[in-house]
Amino acid sequence: MAPEVSPVAAWESLFRAQVSVMRELAAEFPTDIVSFNEYDVMFNLFVQPGKVLRIRDLGEKVLLTQPSISRLVDRLVARGIIEKADDPNDGRGTLVRLTDHGVAVYREAAVVHAASITAHMSGHLSPDELDDLARLCDKLRAGISGR
């Protein structure tokens, strides 16, 4: 029987792996197209129905503070990548939507980023291990978020 790994040791292993992979991915990220944080915002909009979210909901999906998100959104609006509109269901809310130009920019960066992810992940894990990793991470996230 294998020795039991403590939750702290498992967390440290997960955290260290994530840091190592993120450093490699960041070094290879196509920053000549968009920044990593801009890409994160674009990804989160891209996967939504209509490619739109309330800015407050976007803030719950990215690892940025609300003031940072607002500045980043304003930069993306200025570049024609996203557009802002008042939320018709909440007069205090703002909607952000990925434009057609934004979709094209996102896809350009996504092709490069996906190739980098694929090289690092499949270069070290088998298809079965990738399935296990995704399943375990989804289970952990679901348990923490209560979803």
Contact indicator for 49, 67 with CB cutoff of 8 Å: no
Does 109 reside within a domain? Answer: yes
Please give the Cα distance from 78 to 8 (Å, whole number): 44
How many domains are there within the chain? 1
- E strand or H helix at 98: strand 90-98
> Can you give the CATH number for the domain in which 105 is found?
1.10.10.10
Summarised one tens digit per residue, pLDDT across range 72-130 is 999 999 999 999 999 898 888 899 999 999 999 999 999 999 999 999 999 899 999 99
**List of residues 6+ apart from 35 with CB closer than 8 A:** none
Q: pTM of the predicted model, to two decimals?
A: 0.84
- Provide the residue range defining the domain that includes 98: 32-128
Does 82 reside within a domain? Answer: yes
Does 134 reside within a domain? Answer: no
Does 119 reside within a domain? Answer: yes
How many CA within 13 A on the CB side of residue 129?
6
Q: Name the nearest CA neighbour of 37 among 50, 47, 22, 54.
A: 22
Contact indicator for 54, 61 with CB cutoff of 8 Å: no
| pLDDT (0 to 100) of residue 146 | 65
Distances (CA, A) of 13 to 16, 19, 124: 5, 10, 15
Could you tell me the two tokens for 108? 């350009």
Confidence of residue 141 (pLDDT cuts 50, 70, 90): confident
Does 142 reside within a domain? Answer: no
Summarised one tens digit per residue, pLDDT across range 17-63 is 999 999 999 999 999 999 999 999 999 999 999 999 999 899 889 98
